[in-house]
Structure 1
Amino acid sequence: MRLSVWAALPWDADCWLEHHAFCRQVFHHSRHFLPLTEGAEMNSRLLETLELLSEVDPARVLLIGRDAIHEDRDYTAKQLWEAIEVLGGAFNAVGIRHLGLAGDNSPQWLVIQLAAWRAGIVVTPIANFFSSEQCQHLLATTALDAIASAEPGALTRLVNLEVSNESLADESWHAQLDHEIGEGEWRSRCLSLEKGEAVYLIQRSSVPAAVPAGTALITFTSGTTGAPKGVCLSLEHLEKVLEGLSVRLEPVTLKRHGVLLPLAVLLENLAGGLLALWQGRCAIVDTASCTGLIGSGGLNALTLESWLDERRPQSLILVPNLLQVLVALCESSPIESPWRNSLTLVAVGGAKVPASLLARAIRLGLPVAQGYGLSELGSVVCLSLPGEEKGEIDSVGQPLEGLNLSLDDTGQLMIHGRRMLGYLGELNPLSADQPWPSGDLARCLETGGWCLEGRQRDVLILSSGRNVSPGWIEAELALIPGIRQAFVEGDGLCGLIALLAPVLNGDSTCTEDAIARAITLLNSRLPDYARLVAWQVLEASPDTTQPLSIASGEMTDNGRLRRARIRERRGDDLKRLAQRISTPSTVYPCPSSSQESDVLSRHHSAS
């Protein structure tokens, strides 16, 4: 019966995008989804769409990229669905109930994720940039019974083993791993796919932690310690986000999305890779060594430019510091560069973007759009379109379909509509009938778009009675060459103080004197109450961990500072800065304590 429906359509390859919404509607009502085993009940419109596309346009290329051994992996619609079916069946055959997903970006990452959902298995991504403490917390709280990856090295790191691996295609790797584990907790398997590919798997005898009914994905996000919370999300929720994004992006021509951020980050996973597949477009998923990504948000500009020139994606998702790299590339490259002309959407989110950076991007002709969201709400709440808010370039746009926004009496943004099922291990989540308190201050524009004004709980009240959002100044400081991240404080003080994390690239031009001159220039553009009075350049820890980073536990995986953790860890530094400031007009740098005598001499001579 289903085939007779499609036989009546005037179908060809180019009809797919035009009829995509109708395809999903027909399948939604027909509910044509056969679980691989009895009891696998994770129905999915995304999977139905991929199955249908494998039949009506089997040669369409949906997924391309290079894996950890730099092998090109391309999947047509037919090949992708076959891989999902085969791997999903294998997951069920070995009895997995909750799957961790680890490793670098690669096409196989999305294959594994979709295959697990096809088999009715809950998926928890494990980010490469998670600390050991965060990984152990994740494994303990989920009690997941298996971890899969396209690269065995990612698995051995998680279970703290030193296992050599001469070739990722060597299916005997698990024998060596089992030898190392002995009679321990984990056992290993190698699951072979077609095209010479393999998925590496470790399993343990474990009863996974109870999750809310309908949970498909658990994303671990913000926390003030090494114990982040697990956000439980349903496929129905995630697919409504995909649907809302598709409607919002209808005016934009999109065919190829370049995955740049880690797929373990919900924003890129959902609004990047999965959205491309949902719309029948091509997702380009290369490893970090190909794209230039370093950790969770660093970037090698030359590698990025080479990747952009080769892949020519039409859409990208960036965080503000990556947008800064892209803007610098554009400023130094010819305007007729093919990769620049191919871009039709550069979506930026994760943190506040300085208006000055947005203005530079727009002057260069970059199709920049800002988004806003929370993991608890499916990562995307609002999205602007390129050029949409000409009078308010820092607008994050209008809410997606199915969501409504309002302000409470304090100016806090309240979000009405779909949200997570709950936090892992916590009872009584906020009722869906109640608005979600975002913790962000915002204002509504006449166009229906929204602008963020800072974090409600992060507003600093100076001794002058002036209120300052630290995110504003931190975003400006992060634009200074040599500064990777900044933390601004000032509650109860006569002016603002800052801790600065330098870029550790050995650039001799990024000296403290150069930073001081840049801060003086920045202060000249700021109102008197918002000027930086004192600062300290932080040094890396003895184990070379960068300060104010995810690795140091002072930043969340989506780029937000963990302010309580920083105040606790850097309390002595902040106290020393606070004690030294006299009036808001006194501006001086205060480097690390090892350079304290030099700081004092400079301060006394300046005053």
Structure 2
Amino acid sequence: MAAAPLVGGLADIVFDHAEEDPHRVALGRKDADGNWRDVTAAVFRDEVLALAKGLIAHGVRFGDRVALMSRTRYEWTLFDLALWTIGAQSVPVYPTSSAEQVLWMLHDAEVSAVLVEHEDHAMTIASVIDRLPGLKRLWQLDADAVAELTDAGAEVEDEVVHRHRRAVTPESVATVIYTSGTTGRPKGCVLTHANFMFETDTMVARWRPVFRSRPGDEAATLLFLPLAHVFGRMVEVAAIRGRVKLGHQPELSARALMPDLVTFRPTFILAVPYIFEKVFDAARRKAEAEGRIGPFDKAVDVAVKYAEALETRAFGTGPGPSAGLRMQHQFFDKVVYRKVREAMGGRIRHAMSGGSGMERRLGLFFEGAGVTVYEGYGLTESTAAATANPPERTRYGTVGLPIPGTTVHIAEDGEVWVHGDHVFAGYLGAPQATGAVLREGWLATGDLGSLDEDGYLTITGRKKEILVTSGGKSVSPAGLEERVRAHPLVAQCIVVGNDRPYIAALVTVDQEAVEHWLVMQGRTPLKPEELVRDPDLELEVRRAVVAANTAVSQAESIRTFRILAHPFSEEHGLLTPSLKLKRRAIETAYAAEVDALYR
């Protein structure tokens, strides 16, 4: 367990590391030609110091709030550390936020300056600036904001910056992160330097063996999660504090990400289940296109059985893989599993997953393929992870044990409560909302869960998302949706049925997977509107629904479903930026389709 910090702030580590080992490679950064270049601890320190001086020259002071609206880029990390160096507070804003969302966050946080990535973001700010009288500065990354600020601070003495830095204490506010929120107006979670120090130092200390794929490797991770989300922010801080080489990738899509995994070659990654699903689906489609789907599916079964055998041995309930299973596993490692690892850069042997639940079988496959995925659970209010699977005893299908220094309690109604030094200070300017979730130091998460005999947590749903049919049956939709989504052709699934006679579902399909499926059937491509009426596709989705229903009672099962022509998207306000379904918004947007399910 990491000791609670007594002095200092998050930026101190940048200066300490540069003093201790100035030539160590701290970050990787892409140049104009798309090649990765090393950034040493000393160079990064100098850039942070120069930017901090520029911020002071532009009037940013201790305690001021500065919004960052950008995709995941090297400059975001640079600005975060520069702001923390002078005791300012960063307010992350999703780059896809609407003008009204931006207005609310900047107004609520009383932001005095904004950094945006490009002109479109600047135009978004400009459209609401007349309603933000406290906003004094706007910088644009693609208009050379870093150079502009660095030049402005050239005459500021280093000691001015260090005076600011020495005034930062663990209790100082580091950031205000607005919950993306599946319902209602976002609330600003106030997180301190101490919250991040405890969270990241605990994770680094407990999971340090997973950072390297083999002894002597340089630990490196590629960050592609949005830095406006607490998970991405935790990764950023943990990498800097844990001496892990950090690279940035701005697009959370498999098509953009996979090439950078190959060139950056991280030793571990932290991701959401979507990424692991896409890696698996791409490998399976490639095998099918090459006429090797039979051997691939056999390799998957062997990987799952092998991982299950390892799991039972770790928990003392089995002898481990048999000699025959080990031989099969060794064979498939050469012809299948190695290729999966190579698609992720070749060096990855460990990964962490959070943000939403991962299907147990998918986790077992990756374990059997040589990449152990440690699933965890947390919220913005807990500075990311509150629980995670430990390296030596991973139980797939659960989100693990409380991280060291954290306690998890299941309330009488099944709600998960969390206690620890990473729990936030409260919502900005909202004592009533804070009081609703903080109970004498305990965070009432709003999630439902259970603890098994070994203390491993399983999340079963959200309190606010429980559906109650007109017959009085309570149904948690999350598990059903996850099982339907396990089908390779399914992209998204939302279960409906509140105050209705039975449970039903709206389903969207993975366009890339469907195109491949049609090619393998020797069929021509279909338009989205044609796909929803295709009997063969309907049969495939029905199989997914039937498989999901085997895990629940008849009263909880999906009786009927509808395939939609287009996926739920963030642009249409149907997904949060962290890819969670906005249930109310979806049910409103598709009210006619939902009604048709009950005719």
Normalised by the size of structure 2, how large is the TM-score?
0.74
Q: Deviations over 1:182-214 (max 9, x none)?
A: x99765568999999566999xxxxxxxxx983
CA distance in 2, matches of 1:496, 1:452: 21
Q: Which residue of 1 aligns with 2:254?
A: 299
Output the amino acid matched with 2:426: G
CA distance in 1, matches of 2:471, 2:91: 47
Output the amino acid matched with 1:287: P
Helix, strand or coil at the partner of 1:250 = helix
Helix, strand or coil at the partner of 1:124 = strand
Q: Which residue of 2 aligns with 1:312?
A: 265
Q: Which residue of 1 aligns with 2:124?
A: 158
Q: Which residue of 2 aligns with 1:564?
A: 584
Which has the higher mean CA deviation after the structures are superposed, 111-120 or 349-358? Answer: 349-358
Q: Which residue of 1 aligns with 2:237?
A: 274
CA distance in 2, matches of 1:160, 1:516: 47
CA distance in 2, matches of 1:466, 1:190: 53
CA gap 1:232/1:386 in 2 versus in 1, 3 angstroms: same
2:413 aligned with 1:415: no
Helix, strand or coil at the partner of 2:270 = strand
2:354 aligned with 1:349: yes
Which has the higher mean CA deviation after the structures are superposed, 457-466 or 309-318? Answer: 457-466
Give the drift of 1:61. Answer: 0.7
2:387 aligned with 1:372: no
Pick one of 351, 362, 368 that aligns with 1:363.
368
Residue pairs, 1:306-345, within 5 angstroms: 306-331=259-284, 332=286, 334-337=336-339, 338=342, 339=344, 341-345=346-350
Q: In the alignment, is the contact (CA less than 8 A) between 2:505 and 2:561 conserved in 1?
A: yes
Q: In the alignment, is the contact (CA less than 8 A) between 2:182 and 2:580 conserved in 1?
A: no
Q: In the alignment, is the contact (CA less than 8 A) between 2:51 and 2:82 conserved in 1?
A: yes
Pick one of 88, 100, 103 that aligns with 2:67.
100
2:430 aligned with 1:426: yes
Q: In the alignment, is the contact (CA less than 8 A) between 1:122 and 1:215 conserved in 2?
A: yes
CA distance in 2, matches of 1:214, 1:52: 19
Q: In the alignment, is the contact (CA less than 8 A) between 1:368 and 1:386 conserved in 2?
A: no
Q: Which residue of 1 aligns with 2:542?
A: 520
Pick one of 238, 248, 262 that aligns with 2:206.
248
CA gap 1:421/1:195 in 2 versus in 1, 3 angstroms: closer
CA distance in 2, matches of 1:304, 1:190: 25
CA distance in 2, matches of 1:321, 1:186: 39
CA gap 1:434/1:232 in 2 versus in 1, 3 angstroms: closer
2:369 aligned with 1:403: no
CA distance in 2, matches of 1:226, 1:133: 13
Give the drift of 1:457. Answer: 2.9
Output the amino acid matched with 1:422: G
CA gap 1:187/1:257 in 2 versus in 1, 3 angstroms: closer
Q: Deviations over 1:139-186 (max 9, x none)?
A: 22223111124x44364243358xxxxxxxxxxxxxxxx9xxxx9976
How many residues end up aligned between the 2 structures?
494
Give the drift of 1:274. Answer: 1.5
Q: Deviations over 1:45-72 (max 9, x none)?
A: x322221110121000111122788475
Q: Which residue of 2 aligns with 1:383?
A: 388
CA gap 1:346/1:476 in 2 versus in 1, 3 angstroms: same
Unaligned runs of 5+ in 2: 153-169, 213-218, 288-335, 516-524
Q: In the alignment, is the contact (CA less than 8 A) between 2:29 and 2:39 conserved in 1?
A: no
Give the drift of 1:539. Answer: 4.4
Helix, strand or coil at the partner of 1:476 = helix
Residue pairs, 1:501-512, within 5 angstroms: 501-503=508-510, 507=515, 508=525, 511-512=531-532
2:563 aligned with 1:537: yes
Q: Which residue of 2 aligns with 1:135?
A: 102
CA gap 1:460/1:188 in 2 versus in 1, 3 angstroms: closer
Pick one of 459, 469, 475 that aligns with 1:468.
475
Give the drift of 1:494. Answer: 4.1
2:177 aligned with 1:219: yes
Pick one of 471, 478, 484 that aligns with 2:485.
478
Which has the higher mean CA deviation after the structures are superposed, 365-374 or 569-578? Answer: 569-578
CA distance in 1, matches of 2:91, 2:224: 20
Q: Which residue of 1 aligns with 2:228?
A: 264
Helix, strand or coil at the partner of 1:309 = helix
Helix, strand or coil at the partner of 2:71 = coil
CA distance in 1, matches of 2:32, 2:150: 13
Q: Deviations over 1:295-348 (max 9, x none)?
A: xxx432xx4332221111112122222210122345448533444641132211
Give the drift of 1:90. Answer: 1.2
Q: In the alignment, is the contact (CA less than 8 A) between 2:118 and 2:142 conserved in 1?
A: no
Unaligned runs of 5+ in 1: 1-19, 32-42, 162-177, 203-211, 541-545, 581-607
Q: Which residue of 2 aligns with 1:235?
A: 193
CA distance in 2, matches of 1:225, 1:450: 25
Residue pairs, 1:591-602, within 5 angstroms: none
Output the amino acid matched with 1:335: Y
Higher relative contact order (CA 8 A, sep 6+): 2
Which has the higher mean CA deviation after the structures are superposed, 528-537 or 459-468? Answer: 459-468
Q: In the alignment, is the contact (CA less than 8 A) between 2:211 and 2:268 conserved in 1?
A: no
2:129 aligned with 1:126: no
Helix, strand or coil at the partner of 1:147 = strand
CA distance in 2, matches of 1:218, 1:373: 17
CA distance in 1, matches of 2:72, 2:480: 33
CA distance in 1, matches of 2:492, 2:455: 32
Q: In percent, how many aligned pairs have the same letter?
A: 22
Q: Which residue of 1 aligns with 2:521?
A: none
Q: Which residue of 1 aligns with 2:329?
A: none
Output the amino acid matched with 1:222: S
CA distance in 1, matches of 2:546, 2:469: 19
CA distance in 2, matches of 1:362, 1:394: 13
Q: Which residue of 2 aligns with 1:455?
A: 462
Q: In the alignment, is the contact (CA less than 8 A) between 1:414 and 1:435 conserved in 2?
A: yes
Q: Which residue of 1 aligns with 2:574?
A: 554
Q: In the alignment, is the contact (CA less than 8 A) between 1:66 and 1:286 conserved in 2?
A: no
| Higher helix residue share | 2
CA distance in 1, matches of 2:79, 2:96: 20
